[in-house]
Chain A
Amino acid sequence: MTDAPHTMNRRQLIRHSAWFGAAIGLAVAGGEVISHVAGTADAARIQGRPTLRFAQVSDSHIGFLGKANPNVANSFNHAIDRINNLGYTPDFVIHTGDLTHLATPGQFDQVKQMMTGLRTPHVFTVPGEHDSIDDGGQKYRSAFGAGTRGDGWYSFDIAGVHVIALVNTLNLKKLGHLGVDQLEFVAKDVAALPSDTPIIVFSHIPLFAMYPDWGWGTDDAAQALSYLRRFSSVTCLNGHVHQLFSKTEGNVTFHSGTTTAYPLPAPGDGPAPKPVTLPAGKLHDALGIREVSYTRGQSTLALKEKVLQ
């Protein structure tokens, strides 16, 4: 670098332009090659169809009345349409909680009726804190608790994958809470499983400390996760936070899902997680569903987010 003003003649300009063009061209070509390799790897992985494909929907808040979404029922119907038009029949659909906004019998009846429109062999749910406002989850279990254990938790095996659905919205003070009985259930549930069994865990409140100041975490999740550490692939899917968020801790990956009702602020953005009212026409970009697929032999699940647009 010199003190004199630096000037560039035409030849230098052409030369630098050529280098710049080469950099762009090589970067684009490299990106194409990497994407192609990734696509080929995915195609080889898929070989026709994955072992397991399911959809996640969350936080429908049926019964919510507010400016952030004047018609949550319509948005949830839109989400159901998206799932029914994935181009294949998902092995199951999981609703990760806050099915209703105020846990009234009418709201449970409405959301249950709406979910009968899902074209899938199985619909699973876990309760959100909005589903157990005044009765410790009694009405939720009456509507959705068939075949569950304890306060509504359960597990099942499908396509070689072990799925655990947890309830961390009862007995909560600020953070989510699993409790002794449920922790015992998790320990016993996985005790006999080989360590190469892929594990999927559903819960409403995140099992990781996403933002504890707003209650976005579960106070005794570490104990539950300690039973799962020996497994080569553990994927935890949750709702509650109304936005996409991912976190990896060793072999455990956490994915917060979005909502079909209304967005919440990013962690720490404001004093409290209040519904965010978006400009007209922008709401459905913030709402969505999630496709999840698993192919035998892979250590990670493939996630695809779809907005309700």
Chain B
Amino acid sequence: MILIRLAMAAALAVTGISHAYLYVHGYQHIPTIGTAFVVQASVSFALAVLILIGGPAWLSWAAAALAGGALGAFVLSRTVGLFGFSEQGWQPSPHAAISVFAELVAVGLWAIYVIGLRRTGAPQT
């Protein structure tokens, strides 16, 4: 379980860094999307730190929700658009691919974490 927490914290840090980098390098000027990027990055960093130091299980749920939301936003921005913003494929490269990978890892680790807790019967708080 400790390894899963470490890996989840690392995945959150990676997606947070990626969003923060894009925010600093231009995305801050895109209406609504800029704000969403800074919120995603700052909440990712906060959850990464708290999960790393042994916070309660609901932090993992919050992390999965955040990562899942970011993945959903990625899909919308490549299809119907999100708040009037759309991009193509894996642009901006390599940040889009790195973020998606990290977010998939975070969601996957959360699933493993929850299944593990259920098997051991440990409380999820």
A interface residues (Cβ-Cβ under 8 A, vs B): 1-2, 6, 8, 12, 15-16, 19, 22-31, 33-35, 37-38, 41-42, 243-250, 256, 267, 299-300, 302-305
Within 8 A of A (CB), among B79-125: 81, 84-88, 91-92, 117-118, 121, 123-125
Q: How far is the CA of A249 from the CA of B90 in the complex (A)?
A: 10
Q: How far is the CA of A34 from the CA of B43 in the complex (A)?
A: 11
Partner of B92, one of A2, A22, A248: A248
Question: With a CB–CB cut-off of 8 A, which chain B residues contact A30?
Answer: 16, 41-43, 45-46
Partner of A34, one of B20, B56, B84, B121: B20
Taking the nearest CB of chain A, how far is it from the CB of B20, in angstroms?
Answer: 5
B interface residues (Cβ-Cβ under 8 A, vs A): 16, 20, 23-26, 28-31, 33, 38-39, 41-43, 45-47, 49-50, 55-56, 58-59, 62, 81, 84-88, 91-92, 117-118, 121, 123-125
A35 & B124 in contact (Cβ 8 Å cutoff): no
B118 & A1 in contact (Cβ 8 Å cutoff): yes
A12/B125 contact (C-beta < 8 A), A245-B81, A247-B85 known: yes
6 more CB-based (< 8 A) A-B contacts, given A22-B50, A23-B43, A244-B31 = A15-B56, A30-B16, A245-B86, A248-B91, A249-B88, A305-B31
Partner of B84, one of A23, A246, A248: A246
Taking the nearest CB of chain B, how far is it from the CB of A283, in angstroms?
Answer: 19
Q: How far is the CA of A26 from the CA of B16 in the complex (A)?
A: 13
A302 & B29 in contact (Cβ 8 Å cutoff): yes
A38/B58 contact (C-beta < 8 A), A27-B42, A249-B88, A249-B91 known: no
B50 & A23 in contact (Cβ 8 Å cutoff): yes
Question: With a CB–CB cut-off of 8 A, which chain A residues contact B58?
Answer: 16
Partner of A38, one of B23, B47, B62: B23
Report 9 cross-chain contacts, Cβ distance below 8 Å, ordered by A residue: A8-B125, A12-B125, A27-B42, A30-B46, A38-B38, A243-B84, A244-B84, A248-B92, A299-B26
Question: With a CB–CB cut-off of 8 A, which chain A residues contact B30?
Answer: 246, 303
Taking the nearest CB of chain B, how far is it from the CB of A228, in angstroms?
Answer: 16
* CB nearest neighbor in B for A256: B84
A250 & B118 in contact (Cβ 8 Å cutoff): no
Taking the nearest CB of chain A, how far is it from the CB of B50, in angstroms?
Answer: 6
Q: How far is the CA of A35 from the CA of B31 in the complex (A)?
A: 15
B24 & A34 in contact (Cβ 8 Å cutoff): yes
Question: With a CB–CB cut-off of 8 A, which chain B residues contact A244?
Answer: 31, 84
Question: With a CB–CB cut-off of 8 A, which chain B residues contact A27?
Answer: 39, 42-43, 45-46
Taking the nearest CB of chain B, how far is it from the CB of A124, in angstroms?
Answer: 22
A28 & B42 in contact (Cβ 8 Å cutoff): yes
Question: With a CB–CB cut-off of 8 A, which chain A residues contact B29?
Answer: 300, 302-304
Q: How far is the CA of A8 from the CA of B125 in the complex (A)?
A: 10
Q: How far is the CA of A28 from the CA of B43 in the complex (A)?
A: 8
Taking the nearest CB of chain A, how far is it from the CB of B43, in angstroms?
Answer: 5
A245 & B45 in contact (Cβ 8 Å cutoff): no
Taking the nearest CB of chain A, how far is it from the CB of B16, in angstroms?
Answer: 8
Question: With a CB–CB cut-off of 8 A, which chain B residues contact A29?
Answer: 42
Q: How far is the CA of A22 from the CA of B55 in the complex (A)?
A: 10
Q: How far is the CA of A25 from the CA of B42 in the complex (A)?
A: 10
A16/B56 contact (C-beta < 8 A), A31-B39, A247-B87 known: yes
A37 & B87 in contact (Cβ 8 Å cutoff): no
Q: How far is the CA of A35 from the CA of B23 in the complex (A)?
A: 9
